[in-house]
Chain A
Amino acid sequence: MKLDARIPEGPLADKWTSFKAHAKLVSPANKRKHTIIVVGTGLAGGGAAASLGELGYKVEAFCYQDSARRAHSIAAQGGINAAKNYQNDGDTVFRLFYDTVKGGDFRAREANVHRLAEISNQIIDHCVAQGVPFAREYSGYLANRTFGGAQVSRTFYARGQTGQQLLLGAYASLNAQVAAGQVRVHERTEMLDLIVVDGVARGIVTRNMVTGDISSHFGDAVLLCTGGYSNVFFLSTSAKGCNGSAVWRAHKRGAGFANPCFTQIHPTCIPQSGDYQSKLTLMSESLRNDGRVWVPKKAGDDRPPAQIPEDERDYYLERIYPSFGNMVPRDVASRNAKNVCDEGRGIGETKRGVYLDFSHAIKRLGVDVIRDRYGNLFEMYEMITNDNPYETPMKIYPAPHYTMGGLWVDYNLMSTIPGLFVLGEANFSDHGANRLGASALMQGLADGFFVIPNTLGAYLAESKAAPVNPDNQAVKEAEDRVRALNQRLLAVKGSKSVDSFHRELGMIMLDKCGMSRSKEGLDEAIAAIRDLREQFWSNVVVPGDGESLNQELEKAGRVADYFELAELMCLDAREREESCGGHFREEHRTEEGEALRDDDNFCHATVWQYSGEGKAPIAHEEPLVFENVALTQRSYK
């Protein structure tokens, strides 16, 4: 597997301009001869389908939801970053670039991150033009707020629904191209395999989720914009349908998978309340501005919070990190919550929770100020938990939220399979080992609206592929694989449901490959996953058939892939003998117990090559070269 990142020559700030100036183009008359397949219709996929349609390409777009508008980008709350410097507070493209690289603990690719920062401003312009109703000042100018990991105010937002509004903007642009006849959207259609002809990605095999029909679709390039794989943990903040099957099946066809162990566990989520729990809900990290995190000093202290006196409480973030206190980055806050719960000091019914207490802030600022700042979040919390945060502390616990790892891509967003491009959360390139808040929306829109329209043309201009013959052996094989897998799942006819296996897998992953990892634990996890996977294939029950709507069959295929992906995550976590960002290896910590990077040996992306069922995957490395930032140890004491 050859890893050529194809980073343009020249100074960092000129690379993207230089790329655009020299990239080969497809003439307007020829664009309409190209069909592009786009899988996923979130910010990356919706944006790509719309902008490629605008350029004149024919686009076939696919989503598993009943409408392109429902992709999970919609659930993002906080905002989207841009280096506009509208606040005159010293922001620049370089500063946004630097914050993002540092926030990712120096495990992202410099050139990609700089391009992202450059494009950030264009994104805001475009979204406003689409009719996204961003928050405004009374003067009519756009408003900003401050977000974690930055000392400038650069986050644009639309109430607590920024993701929804941005997605509706992309969806509107997509609809305009459907109306223009450039794009066709296939809803309730799931990609189940990639068609590779003569080493080049030329199409996908899909299943119509209503009729069960398996069919093939061909194009001159395939774009995977299918999001992350947090649902490998079963409980996460992802939508229930989010899955890793598109990227995993592409991986099995030859696409390298980079840094699969880089996952983000977000510190402020509502804890699990019982075994029936189906997903976890995020509470914005802005709450930590005024909320104080604590647990009882004594293990097993079951008193209600109001009865625990001040001197018997441990405000552990303030104690351990006096200078950053409750505002430490996500990875640090999550890890410490886990530690105090492991010590038996967790709170709530499940003992996996910590308090986020607003009583001091209410005393200091008054209830009106707190209501003004967090009213809608408090309401949402009360709706779910039936607790009133004005009167009693919130209970929170970390939850899987985002995956920084993904399919490896070069500067042009192309994977190791020519013609297969990967955009947004599905790729690995921009967030390193930890993602900062308000940067996922930025990346999705950047990749979809502004990067791929330039880089795809450069690829197509040089590729001379003939139309795919539907009778080609590769097409038949891909369709057969999909049918065989579904048949195999239906034929087990065991006694345990898909969900019960998925829950068990999630528990192994959260315990051994979550916030804290060790070689010993990862060895155990790999053995346990293999064992559970064997049980799955001998005892899973998938009711119904493949020829009609069958939600259990849909889930079964995804969980089958999660078993394989989970093992690779553990392997990757075991191989990376250092701690960085969200990847914390217990063996590699500073004397104070903080993450200890090893830049001499691990300043690279690990890219895994699939080598067949039951065979060990092969690890490759892309060295990460930092020419514009100094690698420093992050400290928040």
Chain B
Amino acid sequence: MKLTLEIWRQRSAQDTGRFETYHLADVSTHMSFLEMLDVLNQDLIAKGEQPVAFDHDCREGICGTCGFVINGVAHGHLKRNTICQLHMRHFSDGDHIVIEPWRAKAFPIVRDLIVDRSAFERIMRAGGYISARAGSAPDANSTLIPKEKAEAAMDFAECIGCGACVASCPNGAAMLFVGAKISHLGFLPQGQPERDERARAMVSAMEREAFGACTNFTSCEATCPKGISIVGIARMNRDFLKAKVLGGGNLGGKG
């Protein structure tokens, strides 16, 4: 099939950037979206032009590296999907496809479709962990975890950190991402000792970045490739409030 692509090109964070139009004449419906871009890039290289830079790695929908906005929707129109698993049979001959990077103040553009998601790293380093030293753990079955709690933790642990939630939020909020980690660890008994401190530290770190606040549009949940529920945001708010207002948690404090 024939496609017209309108792609955001930007040499660096300092460059102003612009849309460029490209035509592809022979796109197979079996291709993934990224393979379609590979073909475009091979064409561009043959013509002596700069290929389009985009982030990608596993191409199996699990590493969270790839991601951009297709026709206004993060990861494209297919539900619960990453771009690497989006195949061209979901498009039609003659389609006009607009491709732009994640748009969020907290994710500065590095080049073309690549953005800088290091704000996520800083939030995770503020408290997205259980401080368990290697060698100190008791036998794995000494802590029983009801199946439904383990499953709920797993539902939130599935987050791949791609950033689609931020890109699709009108406020550029990172609360689904933060809520997912807080909920994952908060459902587990091992996560309890640091639970208050974790909420305080992660939310404070989030607020230091250029993310907006949640106003319940729920577009994050709708575009999340792993279907993470906004219940995670409620749990984050509750844990944060409890830690802040009731003053629970560690007395030392990190945040």
Kindly list chain A residues whose C-beta atoms are within 8 Å of the C-beta of B50.
Answer: 543-544
Mask, A275-302, CB within 8 Å of B = 1, is: 0111101000000000000000000000
Give the residues from 65 to 90 in chain A that come closer than 8 angstroms, CB to CB, to chain B.
65-67, 69-70, 72, 74-75, 84, 86
Query: What are the interface flags for A541-569 relative to B under an 8 Å C-beta threshold, 1 for contact and 0 otherwise?
Result: 10110001101100000000000000000
The distance in angstroms between the C-alpha atoms of A276 and B28, with both chains bound, is: 9
Let me know if B62 and A187 touch, CB within 8 A. Answer: no
Q: Are B125 and A178 in contact (CB under 8 A)?
A: yes
Of A127-135, A351-359, A598-606, the one touching chain B = A127-135
If A276-B39, A541-B45 touch, does A129 touch B130 (CB 8 Å cutoff)? yes
Instruction: Find A65's partner among B36, B38, B65 (CB 8 Å cutoff).
Output: B65
Q: Among the listed B45, B129, B161, B190, which residue makes an inter-chain contact with A175, where contact means beta carbons less than 8 Å apart?
A: B129
Given known contacts A66-B65, A131-B185, A552 and B51 CB-to-CB distance under 8 angstroms: yes
Let me know if B73 is at the binding interface, CB within 8 A: no
Task: Scan A211-252; emit 1 where CB is below 8 A from any B CB, else 0.
Answer: 000000000000000000000000000011100000000000
Contact between B125 and A175 (Cβ–Cβ < 8 Å)?
yes
Q: Is the pair A126, B63 in contact by a Cβ cutoff of 8 Å? A: no
Shortest beta-carbon distance, B58 to chain A, in Å? Answer: 4
Q: B213 at the A/B interface (Cβ < 8 Å)?
A: no
List, in ascending order, chain B residues with CB within 8 A of A396's CB. Answer: none
In the complex formed, the residue of A with least CB distance to B154 is A133
Q: How far is the CA of A163 from the CA of B64 in the complex (A)?
A: 14
Cα separation A239 to B57 with both chains bound (whole Å): 5
Residues of chain B contacted by A449 (CB below 8 angstroms): 134
B75 CB–A CB distance under 8 Å: no
Tell me, yes or no, whether B89 is within 8 Å of chain A by CB.
yes
Residue of A nearest to B150 (CB): A136
Chain B residue nearest to A138 (CB atoms) is: B147
**Neighbouring B residues of A179 by C-beta, 8 Å:** 125-127, 129, 254
**Which of B11, B63, B129, B154 contacts A158, CB < 8 Å?**
B154
**A residues within 8 A CB of B63?**
65, 70, 72, 74-75, 239
A183's nearest neighbour on chain B, judged by CB, is B125
Residue contact B132 to A129, C-beta cutoff 8 Å = yes
Inter-chain contacts of A126 with B (CB < 8 A):
132, 134-135, 137
User: Which of these, A67, A136, A278, contacts B59 with CB under 8 Å?
Assistant: A278
Give the docked Cα–Cα distance between A264 and B178 (Å).
38
Q: Tell me the nearest residue of chain A to B133, going by C-beta.
A: A54
Which residue of chain B is the closest to A279 with respect to CB atoms?
B59
The one of B12, B49, B62, B85 that contacts A74, using a Cβ cutoff of 8 Å: B62
Is B245 at the interface (CB under 8 A from chain A)? no
Q: Does A124 contact B (CB under 8 A)?
A: yes
- Interchain CA distance A425-B133 in the complex, whole Å: 24
B42–A125 contact, CB under 8 A?
no
* Any B CB within 8 A of the CB of A532: no
- Quick one: closest B residue to A272, CB to CB? B30
Task: Report the minimum CB–CB distance from A237 to chain B (whole Å).
Answer: 8
Give 1 or 0 for each of B143-162: 1 = CB within 8 Å of chain A CB. Answer: 11111001101100110110
Chain A residue contacts of B126, Cβ below 8 A: 179
In the assembled complex, B138 has its CB within 8 A of some CB on chain A? yes
| A172, A274, A548: the one within 8 Å of B129 (CB) | A172
Contact indicator B120/A65 (Cβ below 8 Å): no
- B140 contacts the other chain (Cβ, under 8 Å)? yes
Tell yes or no: A140 within 8 A of B by CB: yes
- What chain B residues lie within 8 Å of A185 (beta carbons)? 121
How far does the Cβ of A376 sit from chain B's closest Cβ, in whole Å? 12
Kindly supply a per-residue 1/0 record for chain B positions 47-58, scoring 1 wherever the CB is within 8 Å of any chain A CB and 0 otherwise. Answer: 011110101111
The distance in angstroms between the C-alpha atoms of A51 and B137, with both chains bound, is 13
Which single member of A47, A125, A176, A276 contacts B131 (CB below 8 Å)? A176
Chain A residues 482-534 with CB under 8 Å of chain B are: 495, 497, 499-500
Q: Decide: A129 and B190 in contact? CB cutoff 8 A.
A: yes
- Nearest chain-A residue to B78 (Cβ)? A383
Count residues of B near A (Cβ-Cβ below 8 Å).
78
Give every chain B residue within 8 A of A69 (Cβ-Cβ).
Answer: 64, 124, 161
Which residue on chain A has the smallest CB distance to residue B11? A548
Q: Does B103 count as interface, using CB distance less than 8 angstroms?
A: no
Q: Which of B164-192 contact A (CB under 8 A)?
A: 184-185, 188, 190-191
Q: Roughly how many angstroms separate A113 CA and B143 CA in the complex, as a whole number? A: 29
Tell me whether A131 and B184 are in contact in the complex, defined as CB-CB below 8 angstroms, given that A74-B62, A172-B130 are known contacts: yes
Cβ-defined contact, A281 with B60, below 8 A: yes
With A137-B147, A139-B144, A241-B57 in contact, do A175 and B124 touch (Cβ < 8 Å)? Answer: yes
In the assembled complex, the CB of B73 is this many whole angstroms from the nearest CB of chain A, namely: 17
Distance to closest chain A CB from B65 (angstroms): 5
> Is the beta-carbon distance between B117 and A173 smaller than 8 angstroms?
no
Report the separation of the CA atoms of residues A439 and B127 in the bound assembly, to the nearest whole angstrom. Answer: 30
Asked if B9 CB lies within 8 Å of chain A CBs, one says: no
A178: which B residues are within 8 A, CB to CB? Answer: 125
Tell me the bound Cα distance from A183 to B254 in angstroms. Answer: 17
The answer to whether residues A140 and B147 also contact, given A125-B140, A133-B157 and a CB cut-off of 8 A, is yes
A159 is an interface residue with CB less than 8 A from chain B: yes
Determine if A240 and B56 form an interchain contact, defined as CB atoms under 8 angstroms apart: yes
Q: Which of A65, A161, A168, A281 is in CB contact (< 8 Å) with B57?
A: A65
> How distant is B53 from chain A, measured CB to nearest CB, in Å?
6
In the complex, which residues of chain A have a beta carbon less than 8 angstroms from the beta carbon of B34?
278
Q: Mark B102-133, 1 if CB is under 8 A from A, else 0.
A: 00000000110010111011001111111111
Is there a chain B Cβ closer than 8 Å to A466's Cβ?
no
- Judge whether A472 is part of the interface by a CB distance below 8 angstroms: no
Nearest CB in chain A: distance from B12 CB, A: 7
- Counting CB contacts under 8 A, is A273 at the interface? yes
| Residue numbers in A under 8 Å from B114 (CB-CB) | 549
Is A469 close to B, CB under 8 A?
Answer: no
Q: A129-B137, A131-B191, A386-B87 are in contact. Are A75 and B58 (CB under 8 A)?
A: yes
> Are B117 and A165 touching (Cβ within 8 A)?
no
Give the chain A neighbours of B46 by CB distance below 8 A.
495, 497
From A86, A187, A276, A450, B141 is in contact (CB under 8 Å) with A86
From B31, B129, B143, A173 is in contact (CB under 8 Å) with B129
Whole-angstrom CA separation of A384 from B138 in the bound complex: 42
Asked whether, in the complex, the Cβ of A75 is within 8 Å of the Cβ of B190, the reply is no
- Tell me the residues in window 142-192 of chain A with beta carbons closer than 8 Å to chain B beta carbons: 142, 158-159, 161, 163-165, 168, 171-173, 175-176, 178-179, 185, 187
Closest to B121 in A: A67
Contact assessment for A277 and B51 in the assembled complex, using a CB-CB cutoff below 8 Å:
no
Among residues 54 to 101 in chain B, which have CB atoms less than 8 Å away from a CB atom of chain A? 55-60, 62-65, 81, 85, 87, 89
Question: Given the complex of chains A and B, what is the CA–CA distance between A54 and B129 in angstroms?
Answer: 14
Within the assembled complex, what's the spacing in Å between the Cα atoms of A380 and B9?
32
Q: Kindly state the separation between the CA atoms of A165 and B188 in the bound complex, as whole angstroms.
A: 14
Q: Which residues of chain A have C-beta atoms less than 8 A from B141's C-beta?
A: 84, 86, 141-142
Contact A67 B117 (CB under 8 A): yes
Besides the known contacts A74-B58, A172-B130, 8 further A-B residue pairs in the complex with CB atoms under 8 A apart: A54-B133, A69-B64, A128-B190, A131-B153, A131-B191, A140-B146, A276-B28, A383-B85
CB pairs A–B below 8 angstroms (22 shown): A66-B55, A66-B118, A67-B120, A69-B161, A126-B132, A128-B143, A129-B130, A133-B153, A133-B157, A134-B150, A136-B147, A137-B147, A139-B144, A164-B62, A172-B124, A173-B134, A175-B121, A541-B45, A543-B50, A543-B51, A544-B50, A548-B11
